[in-house]
Chains A and B, each alone.
Chain A
Amino acid sequence: MNTKLKVSEISKIYPGCIANDKVSLEFGSGKIYALLGENGAGKSTLVKILSGVVKPDEGKVFLNDESIKLNSPLDAKKNNIGMVFQHFNLFETLSVFENLSIDSDKKNEDLRVLVNDILKKYNFKIDLDVPVLNLSAGQKQKVEIIRCLIRNPKVLIMDEPTSVLTEQETDDLFVSLKQFSKDGILIIYITHKLKEVLSLCDEVAVMRKGKVVSVSNTIDEKIESLANKMVGENLNTIKKKINNFKNSEEILKISNLNFKSDDPYETNLNNLNLSLKKGECLGIAGISGNGQNELFQILSGEIITEDTSIMFRNKEIGKLNPRERREYLMAFSPEDRISQAAVPELKIYENVALNNFKSSNFFEKGLVNEKKIKEHSKKILSNFSVNTDNVELKSQFLSGGNLQKLIIGRELITSPELLVCFNPTWGLDVGAINYIHETLIQINEQGKSSILISTDNDELLKLSDRICVIYKGKLSKIMSADTVTAEKLGILMGGGSID
C-alpha cells in the first residue's frame, strides 16, 4: 500500500506573525521524514493543520492525490492520519485498556485481540490492565502509539517525541518507528534535535520563520549543515562592541551547582559553573526546555540552593529569596510577562511595587507608601517611554512591548549591579525589540552586568560579550562572542559538540 501525502501552498497567519508561509512539501510511504526547525519556526502549526486542530488560511492537503478537508481532529482520524503529541492525552487513573477503548468503536473483545496482536508484532511489553499512572513515560508513549495503530494509520506524526524519554527509551522508539515505516506507514517526525534526524530519518525538511528553507536526503547532511539551515545566517545586525573583561572585577560566580527536580517536565541542572565580570553581558543560548527556566529561577532565588554555590559581589546568596537578592542590587525580568513578571489585573503602580525591598521604601512599617510608589512609577513611565502616563491604568491595557518596557524599567530604575533577563523580547514588535536591545547595551556601558537567557540567537549574538549554550541542563564551554557563529550555536543547541 503506497501512501502519498502532499501539502500545497499552506499559509497560516496569526495576528502579528506568519506561522506558515506558502509551505509545500511532499511525503511518500516507506520513508521517515524529519521536520526540523527552531521554536516558532512553524513546525507545530503545520502539524496542527495536518491533524485538523488548526485550519489553514490558504492551501490544500492531498492524500494520494485527492484533496482532503481537515476541519477537525475527527477528519484527520477519518483519513487515517494519526498523531502522537509531545504531552500525553491519557487518563492516568484508567487502565491502559480502558484508555484505548474510550475512543474506539470496536467491541471490547475484538479490541483486546487487536491490541494483543499489535503488542506481539512490535514486541511492546505493556500490561493492559494496570492504571496508566504506573507506567513510565516511554510506556505511556507506546500507549499513545498503539491508540494510533488501532486505526490502521497511513500517516503517523510524532511531535517532539523524545523530550520526555530516556536514552534507552529513545532507542526503543527508533526501532519501532523504523519497523512501522517498513510496514508502509508514512512517518513525519518533528524535532529540533539534529542527532535524531541523522540517526533516524531518511529525508529532512528544514523550516525557518514559517518557510521551508530546504528539503534534502539526510545522507547528504551533517550536523553542521543542518544547524546552519536551521538557525540561518542572516546576521546583519549591529553587534555590540565586545570588550575584554580580563582585568575587571568578578561580580557573580556560580560553582558546581546542581538542581534535581521532582517534576518530570522540568529539567535537572548538572554541575553548572559560570562567572561574570562587571559590565559584561553573558548570553545563554539553547532551545527552550533545556533548563533555562530552572536556571533563571536559581538566579532569581525562586529556587534556592546551597549557600556557597552562588557568590554575588563576594557574598553567598544561594539561600536568599528574590526580595533579599534585590537588596544586594540584583534585578530580574522573567520570560512570562503576563503571569509572572506582572499581574495584568493590577494597576501599573501596583505592579511597580512588586520590585520591593527594604531600601525601596515602598512599604514603611508594614504600610503601603502609595505616594512614593506612584512617584517612582511616573518616573519609570517617562524614563522608559511607556506609552501612558497614567499610573492607575490596569496593566492589562498595555501592549506587550509597553508592558515589557514597564517591567525592564521597574527592574532598572533601582540601578542594579546585575540584571538577569529571560527572553526579554519574546513576541514583541520590532520597535519595542530595538528599544529593549538599546537599553540592555546601555546598562553594560554604564558598568552594570547582565545575564541574557534567550532562545533568539540573533539577539544573543548582538548583545552578548560571551556566550554559552545550555543543553539538557548542562552548560557548554563559555565562548567569547566574537569567536561564535550562528552555526556553532546551532550545533551546540542540537546536542552536538564542536572542536
Chain B
Amino acid sequence: MEVQLIKIEKRNDVSRSIYFLTPVLAIFLTLFGGGIIFFILGFNPIEALKFFFITPISDLYGLSELLIKATPLCLIAIGLSFCFKSNNWNIGAEGQLIFGGVVGGGVALLFYNHDGFYVLPIIILSGAIGGMLFAMIPAILKTYFNTNEILVSLMLVYVAKLLLDYLVVGPWSNPEGFNFPETRQFSESARMPILFDGLRIHAGIFITLIAVFLSWLILYKTYLGFQIKVSGFSLKTAKYAGFKGKTMIIIVFMISGACAGLAGVGEITGPIGQLHRNISPEYGFTAIIVAFLGRLNPVGIIFASLIVALTYLGAETAQIFLQVPKYTGQVFQGMILFFLLGSDYLLFFKIKFLGFKKNEL
C-alpha cells in the first residue's frame, strides 16, 4: 500500500500583523461556511446572511441590543484573558457569572424596599465578590491540592446553576408569583440606569469599558502583568525569576471571577431585573471564544465581543424571518472558534508532504 508521508513543522517567526489578521480571516471563513449551510437548507445564502448579520443592527434599537449582548461578553472575556495569558484554564466563567448574579441578586432582594444611591453600588460590589470567591475554589484546589482547574471550574458551573435553580424555586421565589420559578422584580434603586429613553442599553457598559482600561493597565504596565506574561510563555522562567506562582494563580482567578460576577450582576440589574433560571444565555462559555478571537488583547476583545454578540442577535432575527432555530447562533459561534483554531494551526505550523512511500512493517 502506498501512503503519503506528512511532516508537521513549527514555523519560527510569525509576523505580528498576520497574527492579528487571522481572526478576521476566521470570521470571513465563518460567513462562507454559514452561507453554505444556509444554501443546503434551501435559502439564498446572501439573503440569509443579510438577515443574520445586517438586519439586526440596521436601526438604533438593534445597535443598543448589540451593545447589551457585547457588554457581558467583553467583560467576561477581559477577565478570562488574565487566566489564559498565564496558562490557567478557567472554563467556568458561566458558573462565576451565575454565582455573582446569585449573590448580587440576594443583596438586591435584601434591599427590596430601600431607596438610595448606595443600593446599586453595594449590589454590584457584592456580585463581583461573589464571582471572585467562586473562582477562588478552582484556584485554591489547583495550587494546594494539585487538581485540574479545567475540570473543577467546569463542574462548578453546574453547582452554581443548581443553586440558582433551588433559590428561585424555593426560598427566594416571589411570594406573589404564583409559584413561577423567579424572584420578585428588583426595586428601581437596584436597577442599572438606562442611558437612552426607549432603548435598553444601560450603565453596565461603563463597567465594561473601565475593566478594559484597567486590564490594559495591569497587563502592560504593572509587575503583575509582567509576571502573567512571562508565566504564559514559560513556567520554568517564571520559577527561575522567583515569581510567586501560587499567589499569581489565585490572583488571576480572582480577577477573572470578579469580571464574570460583574457581568452576572449587570444582567440581573440591567435587562432582566430579577433572578430566574436563565439569567445567562451561556455568556460564560461564549466569552471563551471572544477571548481567543480577540487574541487575549483588551482592544481585540472589544471587537470580538461585538462580532460574537451579533451572532446572538442574528440567530433571533433568523428565527423570526427564516424559521431556523435560534441555536444557529451557536453553530456560528462554533464555526468561528473552529476556523480560528484551524487558521492558527496553519499559522504556527507548516505541513510538509514528503511524497509517497510503500507502507511495510
Footprint of B on A, CB under 8 Å? Answer: 74, 77-78, 103, 105, 300-302, 321-326, 332, 334, 336, 339-343, 345-346, 350, 353-357, 363, 366-368, 396
* B177 interface hit (Cβ, 8 Å): no
Closest residue of B by beta carbon distance from A300: B240
- Given A341-B240, A343-B237, A353-B226, 4 other A-B residues pairs in contact with their CB atoms under 8 A: A339-B237, A363-B223, A368-B220, A368-B221
Whole-angstrom distance from the CB of B245 to the nearest CB of chain A? 9
In the complex, the answer to whether B234 meets A339 with C-beta atoms within 8 Å is yes
A78: chain B residues within 8 A (beta carbon): 360
Alpha-carbon separation in the docked complex, A325 to B239 (Å) = 13
Whole-angstrom distance from the CB of B238 to the nearest CB of chain A? 9
Interface residues of B in 213-255 (CB under 8 A from A): 220-226, 229-230, 233-234, 236-237, 239-244
B12: chain A residues within 8 A (beta carbon): 396
A301: chain B residues within 8 A (beta carbon): 242
In the complex, the answer to whether A322 meets B242 with C-beta atoms within 8 Å is yes
Alpha-carbon separation in the docked complex, A441 to B243 (Å) = 31
Alpha-carbon separation in the docked complex, A324 to B244 (Å) = 11
Alpha-carbon separation in the docked complex, A326 to B242 (Å) = 9
B242: chain A residues within 8 A (beta carbon): 301, 321-326, 357
A323: chain B residues within 8 A (beta carbon): 241-243
Closest residue of B by beta carbon distance from A332: B240
Closest residue of A by beta carbon distance from B218: A366
Whole-angstrom distance from the CB of A321 to the nearest CB of chain B? 4
In the complex, the answer to whether B241 meets A356 with C-beta atoms within 8 Å is yes
Alpha-carbon separation in the docked complex, A300 to B242 (Å) = 9
In the complex, the answer to whether B361 meets A342 with C-beta atoms within 8 Å is no
B241: chain A residues within 8 A (beta carbon): 322-323, 354-356
Alpha-carbon separation in the docked complex, A325 to B360 (Å) = 57
Partner of B236, one of A321, A340, A353: A340
Please give me the 4 A-B residue pairs with the lowest Cβ-Cβ distance, nearest first.
A323-B242, A322-B242, A363-B223, A321-B242
B222, B230, B234, B361 pick with most chain A CB within 10 angstroms? B234
Alpha-carbon separation in the docked complex, A324 to B224 (Å) = 17
**Can you identify 11 A-B contacts, CB atoms within 8 angstroms?**
A334-B240, A340-B234, A342-B237, A343-B234, A346-B233, A354-B241, A356-B241, A363-B226, A367-B221, A367-B222, A368-B222
In the complex, the answer to whether B223 meets A346 with C-beta atoms within 8 Å is no
Partner of B237, one of A340, A356, A363, A368: A340
Q: Say whether, besides A321-B242, A322-B242, A105 and B233 are in contact (CB < 8 Å).
A: no
Alpha-carbon separation in the docked complex, A71 to B243 (Å) = 47
In the complex, the answer to whether A322 meets B240 with C-beta atoms within 8 Å is yes
Interface residues of B in 10-40 (CB under 8 A from A): 12-13
A350: chain B residues within 8 A (beta carbon): 226, 229
Partner of B240, one of A340, A345, A357, A363: A340
Alpha-carbon separation in the docked complex, A236 to B230 (Å) = 42
A334: chain B residues within 8 A (beta carbon): 240
Closest residue of A by beta carbon distance from B359: A74
Closest residue of B by beta carbon distance from A362: B223
Closest residue of A by beta carbon distance from B244: A321
B244: chain A residues within 8 A (beta carbon): 321
In the complex, the answer to whether B222 meets A105 with C-beta atoms within 8 Å is no
Closest residue of B by beta carbon distance from A78: B360
A74: chain B residues within 8 A (beta carbon): 360-361
B13: chain A residues within 8 A (beta carbon): 396
Partner of B233, one of A77, A336, A343: A343
Whole-angstrom distance from the CB of B229 to the nearest CB of chain A? 7
In the complex, the answer to whether A346 meets B360 with C-beta atoms within 8 Å is no
Partner of A354, one of B220, B222, B237, B361: B237
Interface string of B193-229 (1 = CB under 8 A from A): 0000000000000000000000000001111111001
